A and B are shown apart, each in its own frame.
Chain A
Amino acid sequence: MVRIIDRRFDSKNKSAVNRQRFMRRFKNQIREAVADAISGRSIKDLDNGESVTIPSKDLSEPQFHHGRGGIWENIFTGNDQFSSGDQINRPQGGGGGGTGKGKASKDGEGEDDFVFNLSREEFLDVFFDDLALPNLVKTQLARIHEYKSQRAGFTNDGTPANINVVRSLRGALGRRLALSSPYRGQLRELQKQLDELLQTRSEDDPDVLQLKDEIGILRAKIEAIPFIDTFDLRYNNRIKVPKPTTQAVMFCIMDVSGSMDEDKKATAKRFFMLLYLFLTRTYEHIEVVFIRHHTIAKEVNEEDFFHSRESGGTVVSSALEMMKDILHSRYLNGAWNVYGAQASDGDNWENDSPHCRELLADTILPFVQYFAYIEITPGEPQNLWREYEKLVGAHANFAMQHIEGLPDIYPVFRELFKKKLA
């Protein structure tokens, strides 16, 4: 007597709960690993999980065991050379010496670090946790919907402004035709009789008069059918549909003039990465445009963006001009959500800064979802900052922050998106 049960399809992922527990417990180590990973990755390389290493001592489940030392006597197999009483040197590394007995725990592996893989989702979750975004903000972040109004046929009720005349009259006509058709049939019949009668009789014949009366009554009945009735009215229907927010373009603008050193660039990279990460949460497809500039701007690939060296003066407007051109030529067909991020040390050619502000306000900000500017400088804000400050109140989709060093970056990022949602 045997029962054979097919369990292959039930209770998959039974260990998922235990996995979560494990993740929660080692949150700190995982968080560190994620932070390390970020510094080593390309901005766009976020579609992967991360392998996390946890020192085995942190993971240990301690138990009372024997340690090394004392007297041990153990049995081995495959004797090929020994006789009773032989003396042997201790093997180096303590491998087969027998004292290891107490360490033969179920973890077997010994002192190796524990490595496991975070899935992409888990990786990002940790990352966002790291930013200390409140849950509410997080869910809002996940749900940025754009709506657009769209025709959706016709409805029976609505506001007078939305009356569709053609539809309404067509309905009325149909109704009138339908309601009058029995009378019209009779009418045609009577008219025919009348015409035949008039062939043989005079106009005053009583039969003729009677027919004329009947015809008159029928006409009156047809006349009495209202030309238009309330239920003929049709209204244009408009519904809001969420605009598919599936793709976005992100402009990264960075000052690579002589005053931007490697540290500042590293800070800027963090910032761009964070923004990119945020966008991956919301959009399925993201393009990144890298524009670097000193006195002239240039569109480059990521490698050049972060690593090539330039020097010289600074004309920020050159980059904004270029962004505007690219934006208008490639990304303004309505299918793109546009984000801009600019990093600079704020040291601009004095006369250029007002021009930058105008460029931003007139040709860029109206078309972007969000534009963030960070100024990476240890000291007082520079002239570009002061110009940009004038934009802050007027444009809800513009934000700016001042960063002194790497440690400031997370709070700043948080600040930026708080602003966005406020």
Chain B
Amino acid sequence: MSTKRQKRKQPLPAPGEWTFELIEAYHAEIDRVAKNYGLDTYPNQIELITSEQMMDAYSSVGMPVNYHHWSFGKSFLQTEKSYRRGQMGLAYEIVINSNPCIAYLMEENTMTMQALVIAHAAYGHNSFFKGNYLFKQWTNADAIIDYLIFARNYLTECEERYGEEEVELLLDSCHALMNVGVDRYKRPEKLSLNKELTRQRERAEYLQSQVNDLWRTLPTPHVKAQAVEEKRFPSEPQENLLYFIEKNAPLLEPWQREVVRIVRKVGQYFFPQRQTQVMNEGWATYWHYTLINTLYDEGLLADNFMLEFLHSHTNVVYQPSYSEPWYHGLNPYALGFAMWQDIRRICENPTDEDRYWFPDIAGSDWRETFDFAMRNFKDESFVAQFLSPKVMRDFRLFAILDDDKEAKLKVSAIHDEEGYRRVREILSDNYNLGSREPNLQVWNVDLRGDRSLTLRHQAYQRRPLSNDADEVLKHVARLWGFAVRLEVARDDGSVEVLQECRQDRRKTSDA
């Protein structure tokens, strides 16, 4: 931080209780400093809410509006319980990737905390949402709130028309597939409320006709079975189960397809957040730290404010080591904050080691490097690109190899010369959703036979599916309407059918 404190100004008052005037005053200063650092943000909308509303927002996946579902009620109860018991403080803030960017401040926070949250959420996260390529490509900040309102209204309408039970069952099934309902590689269309509304009906009809195409390929009874060349459907394996079901499940009603689509869109919306935890939280933490410290250096903040601020900040970036009972893996705030700080250090005061490891950025302009890194990476690539030996040493990182065929665990690499690359590689892979989550694909539909759907799990490193896979399979069968099969393709090339879930809805609906 710059140490020029010659321009002593009157510090802003820092009472325990916040007021609207003070929030505005603090915001104005933070905004000024953020602009000086060149942070590019959506306009801010700061909303003051109660702790109960915070729990509400929490339990509906952090969105200000959402459709109704029992699982949100469950998570509300969970949150409420641990909050009441004091097991868990609520998050200081929730910030929504929308334009304007909505940040929630909780009523119970002190003035210091409000300032911290403004810097963290309204400038840190906000600028990340606006700049990072994943968010730019996959989400549309202008439309998300409108879309969620559309979704909630649509589902309410469905409940009225088809009954709450029916909609709930459908949502259950969709939620079960939410994490395999995202396009990992393909770019989605932008959301737009008007488009959704005007084209929703058209789409429904169109989709139904598409499905009829699928039916048309069925052999009619009087045509003799002929040796038709086995036509694969889908022609290539599909990674997005929900998308495939929305477009191809033969028995779904149009409204059901729309619901599948809504769940898919919402899941897709959160996909970038899951891929940029370390970067995003680290970035926001870095900026609240930097912005507040800059204000302090200018003499705008009182000492009691800084002490409380540092106390909170330290808690946020605390990283217990593996042997401590409260160890829950790497703290993304801690790792992210350390990495961003380290990047700035490499830019400003590079050592020989840094010059060797990071010839491109050592000694470069830190603002430009930051901007480049923030815009063009996700956790996986960010770690692979920027995790320096110094951070690995500071965190004393080490890798454990756990092979269930071996009797013992093995330390495969540590924070030393031989281990740096390996540790970095493994950590990067840990953040790769593609290897962290099972790889499931729509493999085949038996078009000429029983119309059964085959899902294939491409087992990576012999990792099996968890036990609730058979429950999920039932959900798939409910959506698909016919038998569903789950098979596993192992690394050695063998394929085995794991389970099958029969469901012939035609019989019940024809009866």
Contacts and interface: CB of A to CB of B under 8 A. Distances in A.
B170 to A, nearest CB: 14
A7 B402 CA distance: 49
A90 interface: yes
Interface string B144-180: 0000000000000000000010001000100111111
B410 A86 contact: yes
Nearest to B61: A106
Contacts of B329: 104
Nearest to B76: A15
Contact of A85 (B68, B78, B410): B410
Given A11-B53, A71-B462, A78-B323, A21 B70 contact: yes
A18 B463 contact: no
A5 to B, nearest CB: 5
B47 interface: yes
Interface string A100-122: 01111000010000111100000
B437 A74 contact: no
B210 interface: no
Contacts of A90: 402, 408-409
Contacts of B396: 77-80
B47 A7 contact: yes
Given A73-B426, A84-B418, A7 B49 contact: yes
B73 A66 contact: no
B414 A73 contact: no
Given A1-B43, A4-B20, A78-B323, A18 B404 contact: no
Given A3-B46, A65-B468, A77 B53 contact: no
B426 A69 contact: no
Contacts of A4: 20, 23-24, 27, 46-48
B44 A3 contact: yes
Contacts of B81: 115-117
B402 A73 contact: yes
A82 to B, nearest CB: 4
Interface string A61-78: 111111111111111111
B48 A24 contact: no
Interface stretch (B129-137, B293-301, B372-380, B469-477): B469-477
Contacts of A12: 50, 52-53
Contacts of B463: 66-67, 69-72, 102
Interface in A356-371: none
A117 B82 CA distance: 12
Interface string B195-235: 00000000000000000000000000000000000000000
A78 B321 contact: yes
Contacts of B176: 61-63
Given A2-B45, A4-B20, A21-B70, A77 B330 contact: yes
B100 A7 contact: no
Given A19-B73, A84-B419, A101-B436, A77 B47 contact: no
Contacts of B53: 7-8, 11-12, 14
Nearest to A75: B427
B75 to A, nearest CB: 8
Interface stretch (A91-99, A332-340, A397-405): A91-99
Contacts of B430: 74-75
B414 A63 contact: no
B76 A88 contact: no
A65 B403 CA distance: 18
Interface in B312-328: 319-324, 327
B437 A15 contact: no
A115 B471 CA distance: 23
B426 A77 contact: no
A169 to B, nearest CB: 66
Contact of A63 (B23, B56, B468): B468
A211 B13 CA distance: 98
A18 B73 contact: yes
B267 to A, nearest CB: 11
Interface residues of B, number: 96
B245 interface: no
A22 interface: yes
Contacts of B418: 84
Given A61-B176, A63-B179, A21 B48 contact: no
B371 interface: no
B2 interface: no
Contact of A2 (B43, B172, B320, B403): B43
Interface residues of A, number: 66
Q: Which of B411, B430, B459 has the most CB of A within 10 A?
A: B411
A109 B469 CA distance: 19
Interface in B51-102: 52-53, 55-56, 59-60, 68-74, 76-78, 81, 100
A87 interface: yes
A75 B383 CA distance: 12
B45 A5 contact: yes
Contact of A8 (B50, B397, B459): B50
A97 B403 CA distance: 10
Nearest to B100: A3
A21 B68 contact: yes
A14 B56 contact: yes
Nearest to B322: A76
Contact of A82 (B68, B78, B414): B414
Contacts of B323: 78, 80
Contacts of B457: 64
A4 B102 CA distance: 10
A61 to B, nearest CB: 6
A135 interface: no
A303 interface: no
A71 B436 CA distance: 12
Given A77-B322, A84-B418, A99-B402, A60 B50 contact: no
A72 B416 CA distance: 21
A49 B397 CA distance: 49
Contacts of B179: 63-64
A83 B70 contact: no
A13 B69 CA distance: 15
A64 B100 contact: no
B423 interface: yes
Contacts of B302: none
A73 B44 contact: no
B262 interface: no
B508 interface: no
A24 B70 contact: yes
Contacts of A239: none
Contacts of A284: none
A221 interface: no
Contact of B401 (A25, A71, A78): A71
Contact of A64 (B23, B77, B414, B472): B472
Contact of A79 (B59, B397, B467): B397
Interface string B390-416: 000001111111111000111111111
Q: Which of B59, B71, B466 has the most CB of A within 10 A?
A: B466
Q: Which of B59, B327, B329, B460 has the most CB of A within 10 A?
A: B329
Contact of A73 (B164, B175, B412): B412
Contacts of B413: 84
A86 to B, nearest CB: 4
A414 B408 CA distance: 64
A329 interface: no
Interface of B: 20, 23-24, 27, 31, 43-50, 52-53, 55-56, 59-60, 68-74, 76-78, 81, 100, 107, 122, 164, 168, 172, 175-180, 319-324, 327, 329-330, 395-404, 408-416, 418-419, 423, 426-427, 429-430, 436-438, 440, 457, 459-469, 471-472, 475
Given A25-B168, A73-B399, 16 more contacts: A2-B46, A4-B46, A15-B72, A59-B74, A60-B471, A64-B437, A64-B472, A65-B466, A67-B464, A72-B463, A76-B399, A78-B327, A84-B418, A90-B402, A90-B409, A102-B466
Q: Which 9 A-B pairs have the closest CB atoms?
A: A78-B321, A22-B73, A70-B463, A18-B73, A62-B468, A67-B466, A62-B471, A70-B462, A71-B461
